Every structure is written in structure tokens, then in C-alpha cells.
Amino acid sequence: LSGAAPQILEDALLSPLVLLFIRLVLGVVGSSALFKVAPPPNFHIREFFWSSLQPSEELVATSLKGSPEIQYRSRFYGRTRLHDNFTLEINPVDLEDAGKFSILLVDTTGHMQKQTFELKVYDTISNPVIQVFTEAKDLNGSFETCLVFLTCHAASRTNVTYEWAGLGGKTGPRPKHWLMEAGQVLRTKLDPKEALQVTYTCTASNAVVHKSATVELRDSCQQPSGIEFCPLLRPCSAGRCSGHVRDAVIQWHLASLVRRSQKGITCHDR
């Protein structure tokens, strides 16, 4: 700050201060984040002071007597820009930039208004990858249903939410579905005797990024064209495990499959 700035800031701090609610700003890694100021009516701005409040307070940009200045000692130096409407732009943002920011507005009468912003930064999400696993049948082939598991994985450094759509058949009866592993695994039960055509879409998302992938299953548990089916290890032979034990072991196995898919391990690597 110039020599006059500390006195101006000190005088402003002695004036009435109006605080407003915190505004939320969402950003994506590698993109820009805009902090838009909303001055009240008849509030004629003379000076303003942009600050980052976390991990410790530091000035980012100022404007004194109509002369805007980017603070070179700020960790945002080289990534900040001041717009004519007092908006602060940070470009690009990264995960460690998340936190609270504020602007102190001083009008021509010395009155102040402080506006606070909270920046939340989300990582990008890779295109989801769907893998299909079928439960191995026993030797005598006596099963009347076929269990199919679909895993969905998208890489990101921030939390990802998984949702499935199209949980119904284009032809034939609607199959039953169960979600496992916080939605990352879809379990369905099909009838091997029916020629069922089903389409599933997995959407991986966070607050600002959404990516989807679609897979189509045809002819029940038969391997469709262009889709790789991976055999699911069967932990119990028919009649030797109770239902809840069998389901628990299958769920444990699916959790391991999810971990493998996150590491990029495919069916042939097992």
C-alpha cells in the first residue's frame, strides 16, 4: 500500500460498518472464479480493499482515489484481475485457493460496507468408466436368475457422487436393482431365459461438473457386442451359504472390484 493507504484504511475502520451475508462462489480447477460486488443504492465507492481471509488475512487488490492496484505480495499475484465493476477475478484457481474473501467498500462520505465471499473449488472429473461383472454359474446350471454388477468410476481429487439412470428395460419386464458402495456399484437380477435389452447410464458429478457414460446390455447375461463382461468370483457353491452371508461376501468382493477399477485394473489383469 502507498503511504496514504494505511491512514485511509484506519479512518474507514472508525466509520459505521455494514456487514452482509456471505456469498458463495464456485470454481473449477484450471478455470476462473469471479467475485461480483453488489454496492447498495446511492453508495458511491471511493476506495475498496480486496482481501483473502484464509489461512491468514492478506490484501489481494486495492483501489485508492480511482487507482486500482494488484498487490504483488499476495499469493494470488499473477492470477488476479480487477474489472471496472469492482469484480475480482482469479484465474486459474486450484484446490488450495478455497476459503473466504472479502471486500471493504468505502464511500465518499466515509461510510463502509464489507461483503464476504466463500470460494469452493472442485476438481475436474474424468469420463466415467463402466465395467460389467456377471456372477459365475454353477456347474449344473440350475440358477433361474443371473446377477449382474455394474461398477462406475471417475477420477477426481474431490468427492464424486454417482447416480444411475435408465433402470428399466426397453423390452420385457423391469428388472430389480440395488445400489451398493455409495452408488458406485449397481446390482441387478436378470432372467437368463429372457431376451432382455437394458440401457444404463452412470453420471459422475460434483457441484459444478457432470460427466456421463452409457452401457447397453442385451440378451440377459449373454456377452453383448462391444462390451466386456468380467466373471464375478462366486464365494459359495449352491446350497452351502445362507443368503445374508452370500450377499455379504459378494458385497465385499464388489468393494474390491471398485478399488481395482479405481487403479485402472481391467478384467484381464486378474
Q: What is the pLDDT of residues 132-163, one digit of tens each?
A: 887 655 445 555 667 788 889 999 999 999 99
CATH code 2.60.40.10 region(s) in the chain = 22-122, 129-260
Q: What is the pLDDT of residue 167?
A: 63
pLDDT band at residue 85, thresholds of 50, 70 and 90? confident
Among the listed residues 127, 117, 163, 147, the one whose alpha carbon sits nearest the alpha carbon of residue 233: 147
CA distance 60 to 52: 7
pLDDT tens-digit map of 241-258: 444 444 554 565 666 666
Of 13 and 238, more confident: 13
87-123 as b/e: b if 16+ CB within 10 A: ebbbeebeeebbeebbbbbbbeeebbbebbbebbbbb
Section 119-140 average pLDDT: 81
Residues in Cβ contact with 109 at an 8 Å cutoff, skipping those fewer than 6 apart: none
Q: Which of 26-40, 176-190, 231-245 has the lowest mean pLDDT?
A: 231-245
Residue 79 C-alpha cell reads as 492470477
Specify the pLDDT at position 237: 37
Give the chain as a DSSP string: --THHHHHHHHHHTS-EEEEEEEEEEEETTS-EEE---PPTT--EEEEEEEE-SSS-EEEEEEETTEEEE-TTSTTTTSEEE-TTS-EEESS--GGG-EEEEEEEEETTS-EEEEEEEEEEE---PPPEEEEEEEPPPTT---SSEEEEEEEE---SS--EEEEE--SEEESSPPEEEEETTTTEEEEEE-TTS--EEEEEEEEE-SS-EEEEEEEE-STTSPPTT--EEEEP-SS-TTSS-HHHHHHHHHHHHHHHHHHHHTT--GGG-
CATH topology of domain 22-122: Immunoglobulin-like (2.60.40)
**What pLDDT, on a 0 to 100 scale, did the predictor assign at position 221?**
63
Rounded-to-integer distance, Cα 1 and Cα 6, Å: 7
Higher-confidence residue of 220 and 235: namely: 220
User: Is residue 230 over pLDDT 60?
Assistant: no
Residues paired with residue 51 on neighbouring β-strands, in sequence order: 59, 102
Q: Indicate if the pLDDT at residue 236 is higher than 50.
A: no
Please report how many Cα atoms fall inside a 13 Å half-sphere around the Cα of residue 51, on the Cβ side: 18
Rounded Cα distance between 72 and 50, Å, is 13
- How far is residue 60's CA from residue 79's CA, in Å, rounded to a whole number? 10
At 2-54, the pLDDT tens digits run 445 555 455 544 455 555 679 999 999 999 999 999 888 889 999 999 999 98
Instruction: Tell me the C-alpha to C-alpha distance, in Å, between residue 71 and each of 80, 126, 213.
Output: 9, 35, 44
Q: Which amino acid would we find at residue 225?
A: S
Position 1 pLDDT exceeds 50? no
CATH fold of 129-260 reads Immunoglobulin-like (2.60.40)
